[in-house]
Amino acid sequence: GENVEQHPSTLSVQEGDSAVIKCTYSDSASNYFPWYKQELGKRPQLIIDIRSNVGEKKDQRIAVTLNKTAKHFSLHITETQPEDSAVYFCAAGGGSQGNLIFGKGTKLSVKP
């Protein structure tokens, strides 16, 4: 089955700096890669997703890149702000399975 590895597990940056979180997946048939943000005590919320037919997608300060050959995808947050502090989860889905497999999460701390 699918396996998703996420790095780093924790990330601390200064306000205004960029943050990058990386994930790798094992199932080459996976075709959907969402990123979720989970603030403390709250539900995960989708912030951006990408499908396997594109290599990059941007939404304001957030971008996701996908390398299908290497089977990895990354989340890029530019001009980080304290409210970006949360746990971020990557996931992979589609292909041979109907559910999403999540990475273990990255705790991002943005210091003012």
Partner 1 sequence: GAGVSQSPSNKVTEKGKDVELRCDPISGHTALYWYRQSLGQGLEFLIYFQGNSAPDKSGLPSDRFSAERTGGSVSTLTIQRTQQEDSAVYLCASSLALGLTQETQYFGPGTRLLVL
Interaction site with partner 1 (CB under 8 A): 1, 31-32, 34, 36, 42-46, 49, 89, 93-94, 97-105
Q: With CA atoms as reference, report the closest residue to 7 among 100, 70, 74.
A: 74
Residue number with CB closer to partner 1 (18 or 99): 99
Residue number with CB closer to partner 1 (1 or 112): 1
Considering the complex, what minimum distance in angstroms separates the CB of residue 41 from partner 1? 9
CA distance 50 to 63: 10
Residue number with CB closer to partner 1 (17 or 59): 59
Look-up of token digits 């396997």: 52
Q: With CA atoms as reference, report the closest residue to 90 among 51, 42, 43, 37.
A: 37
